[in-house]
Structure 1
Amino acid sequence: MLSTLTKFKHSVSVPVSLPTSAIEQAIQFLKLYNLSDDQQLTIKAAIDEVALQRNCFRQQAAWWLNKKAFPEIY
Structure 2
Amino acid sequence: MDHNPIRAQGHRNVFCPYYNGCLDHAAKRYWEYWSCLKCQHKQEQKAVTEVLLAPGSDYPYYTLSPSFYDKVENFTL
TM-score range, shorter chain: under 0.3
User: Using CA pairs below 8 Å that are at least 6 residues apart, which structure has the higher relative contact order?
Assistant: 2
Greater fraction of residues in helix: 1
Instruction: Name the larger-Rg structure.
Output: 2
